[in-house]
Amino acid sequence: MKKKKTLVAIGTLLLVAVVGATFAYYTSNTTFENVFNAGKYKITLTEVFESPDNWVPGETIPKTVTAKNDGTVPAAVRVSYVEKWEDLEGNDITSQVTPNPAIINFDNTSDWIQDGNHYYYKYILEPNDTTSSFISGVTLDPNLNSVTCTGEGNTKTCEAQNPASGAKYKLTFTIDTVQYDQYQNVWDTDVEIKEYTDAVTFVTRQVENQITPGDVVGIGETEDFFVVSSNPEKTVLLAKYNLMVGNFFGERQMSGTGLQSEAAISGYTWAGEHFVRYGSVGFSSTNYWNDEDNGLKASYAKDKDGNNASYSGNPYPYVYDNTITGEPDFSNPNWDNETNWWRTAGYSIAYYVEGYKNVLIGMGAPSTISTRLLSYEEAYNARNVSSTDVSSIIFYNGMSYWLGSSDNGWDVMVVKGDYDDFGSESCYNTDYGVRMVIEIPTSELQ
């Protein structure tokens, strides 16, 4: 780290006042010593890392690097790193080691901006503040020991595909800091570093210093959520409105990152001479929550009596599965006709769910959040939870939306906002919206 020196300026100011008159004159000579105490510039770096004696493929070695401002002068921080591989004799074999056997696990990506080979902490590092670490560890490629064998019968020649086995990996981090008001000049960058503002805040709170179902939490400048439940580990938040995705006024939203919208109530609405859909989307192209070998994938939700919930003799499994993230083929002209576009497009509601998570992180939400759909059990238990001027957070604004629980192998539970009721619909139905659930570590709200 390059230490930036700040000059301490001590100035001596001499003032002379002369007053003249016709018959007499007076002189005054006074010296004032003005001392300008320069701010203290001190950045302390902290690394958490223990070098392994025998780093085996697939093993992750934790590593964090942070910077703390122990001075009085606001600072800017950036990080760069260099990777190097050496053989047992100390020779550089980096160019021979491919492809990247050391996997750097980036973390807190919403706090850092990459520009070229540098990662800039995007907030002013004020006195007593500490940066997050943009790395959580390094993993050795699990496939590092794979070999390729040639030949036939009992005569084969096998060679390791990567010379990194037995080699030494060196990861060198360089952290630059400079007083904040000079970072663009010193580093010659257009990256904008701003004052930190808390991206996750309480909009309304019913009890001071306490998280209560019905409280409203805001993320960024536009996205609001109702608290559904909270414990010391995590808080479950329900989006105030459906996402602006799927069908909207007859046109398909071309992005999986739609934001909440009061207009996206979903369902059919009469508009002039034809029906239109408001922010609606089909749940899935297949009943993908079925597993051919093991039956329904997820654990069952509970009904109001605490038993495994069932409807028409079938359980309510939790059906949301974010492993299927195929992007819809919006160019398909048959998406909405009898050819069942949903079956053939490789489409999953997870496309929107995962996209929204990335948007929230981009707004400054912690990277530890997760996104999903509300389960039937959660919706039922919270049906009478009220908020400021809201009698029920579940049936708010007449929205109709998908839940994350299945009625059977083909139907998904829904909230029918127009009727303040629960029901089930075919996963191919396109009359229901996407109302997101966010799970956030409770510590991020305290």
Going from N- to C-terminal start, the domains of the chain cover: 43-187, 204-445
**Regarding beta strands 274-280 and 10-20, do their DSSP bridges make them parallel or antiparallel, or are they unpaired?**
unpaired
CB 265 within 8 A of CB 278: yes
Per-residue model confidence (pLDDT) at position 226: 97
Q: What is the CATH number of domain 43-187?
A: 2.60.40
Instruction: Please report, in angstroms and rounded to a whole number, the separation of the first and last CA atoms in the chain.
Output: 33
For tokens 């769910």, the residue is 353
CB 69 within 8 A of CB 126: yes
Tens of pLDDT, residues 297-327: 444 555 556 665 554 445 566 676 544 445 5
107/116 Cα distance (integer angstroms): 18
- Could you tell me which of 255, 231, 237 has the C-alpha nearest to residue 245? 255
Per-residue model confidence (pLDDT) at position 22: 37
Residue ranges of the chain whose pLDDT lies below 70? 1-39, 98-100, 143-166, 246-257, 268-277, 284-318, 320-348, 350, 408-409
Q: Which residues make beta-bridge pairs with 48?
A: 64
CB-based contacts of 425, cutoff 8 Å, min separation 6: 411, 412, 414, 431, 432
Per-residue model confidence (pLDDT) at position 329: 53
Indicate the pTM of the whole model.
Answer: 0.59
- Could you tell me which of 366, 391, 394, 364 has the C-alpha nearest to residue 381? 394
Output b/e per residue, 152-180; b: 16+ Cβ within 10 A.
Answer: eeeeeeeeeebebeebebeeebebbbbbb
